[in-house]
Amino acid sequence: METGSLFASRDELIRNLVMQRPHVVILGAGASVASCPDGDKNARQLPTMENLVNTVGLGDLLKKNAITGAPENFEALYSSLYSDPSRSGLTGEIEEAIRDYFLSLELPDHPTVYDHLLLSLRKKDAVFTFNWDPFLFDAYVRNQRFSLPGIFFLHGNVRVACCPSHPHRRGDYWCRCPDCGTNFVPVRLLYPVTSKNYQADPFIAREWEAAQWFLENAFALTIFGYGAPASDLEAVNLMRTFWNTNQRIIERVEIIDVKSRDALYETWQPFISHHHYDCRSCFYQSYIANYPRRSGESLYIPSTQGRAAEQFPVPREYGFDELYSWLEPIVRHEAENEFTTGNR
């Protein structure tokens, strides 16, 4: 490490992998919207909890079942229906409609924010999503030319299936369990707001076990487009327990969101230690995007050596072939130095 210089150059950051602790990313709906701001490949819009009923087209189904004056937030609506045993048929139809809509979504053919996110992290890192849409999964599949971070689905996902007897075995719907040969089955998506027991579902429980390990060992935490909704306090409290601020001296939290800095600080203050946090309005302002595959080094060197780190932003305008060629010299230095954890 070139500690004599007051400046850590791009070449130094690329060649010297001094940070082997994970960079953990938490994704909410805002990240998927940012990845496809104009809709998916076919201009289909990505729903949020506030507009899901209209976007997915559940209005006629609710009207047919005499549901009027429904809450604007879908989770509140689903929770009220789930608590009524006479509505079990309706909740089943709602679940099917939602799954079908999200399954129809497709990534554009050009690189998106999700492609840049995954390609800008290393195998030691991890991305956890609360989103049902297939964008993260599909971006992972189409970029496997390089080693990528582990991806985990804290609320399930329309693209993910698993073995009922071996929930750690997961993949796409066509897969079979390598342990018992059973066909994979889709993971559950919907949980009532009042009883989001993450330990009750074996698949979800394993995803949260991974979250615990990664958050406890992380050097950096990026929260991207996740608003910590009041309807999911259990999730936020679990993450806060795993990311113990009492043990964070130089670790850093980065929040990517269009909300004001004051509002973001108010929401995420329990995760922030020693005022080590940054707020960004766009992914391309983040450490991940400006120091692809070296975000940990870009934080560690200034914190421990007082030296500024030269940025080398991921080229947003490149197609996949150009992007891969640009990344290859960076990835070349990782083979003999990488501490890997991957999809546990």
pLDDT digits (tens, 9 = 90+) for 125-162: 999 999 999 999 999 999 999 999 999 999 999 999 99
Quote the pLDDT of residue 311: 97
**What are the pLDDT digits (tens) for 162-190?**
998 888 888 777 788 999 988 999 888 87
Q: Which residues contact 11 (CB under 8 A, 6 or more apart)?
A: none
- Poorest-pLDDT segment among 38-52, 90-104, 188-202: 188-202
- Tell me, rounded to whole angstroms, the distance of Cα 61 from its chain centroid: 31
Torsion on CA atoms 145, 146, 150, 153, rounded to nearest 10: -40
Average pLDDT for the chain: 89
Question: Can you give the residue ranges of every domain in the chain?
Answer: 7-40+111-155+197-332, 52-103, 159-190
Task: Point out which residues pair with 186 in neighbouring strands.
Answer: 161
- Separation between Cα atoms, residue 102 and residue 135, nearest integer Å: 10
What class is the 7-40+111-155+197-332 domain?
alpha beta
Q: Which residues contact 72 (CB under 8 A, 6 or more apart)?
A: 50
